Amino acid sequence: MAEYTVITPLPGTFYRKATPESPNFVEVGALVGADTVIGLIEVMKQFSELTAGTAGRVTAFMVEDGDPVEPGQIVATLDEE
């Protein structure tokens, strides 16, 4: 089991859910696949999906819903399984 970090390649605003009323895409402890969407980055009036990038279990979010992010910033950590 290895720790894996999900980084955002984009600057902007990070969201954990698709709309303010929606549930979070994933919760800590959830099993995700490489293509599972874990959040959105809003920049230049566009929303880009951020995917886990590897299969594993989400161990933590390092960024809160609505926080600003910069390129290369760690958004979440996973345990690869």
Q: Of the listed pieces 18-26, 49-57, 58-66, 67-75, which binds other proteins according to CB under 8 A?
A: 67-75
Report, in Å, the least distance between residue 3 CB and other proteins: 20
7, β-bridge pairs: 74
Counting Cβ atoms within 10 Å, is residue 19 exposed (0-12), middle (13-18) or buried (19+)? exposed
Restricted to residues 43-62, the positions that interact with other proteins (CB under 8 A) are 43-46, 48
Which residues make up the interface to other proteins (CB under 8 A)? 7-13, 42-46, 48, 68-72
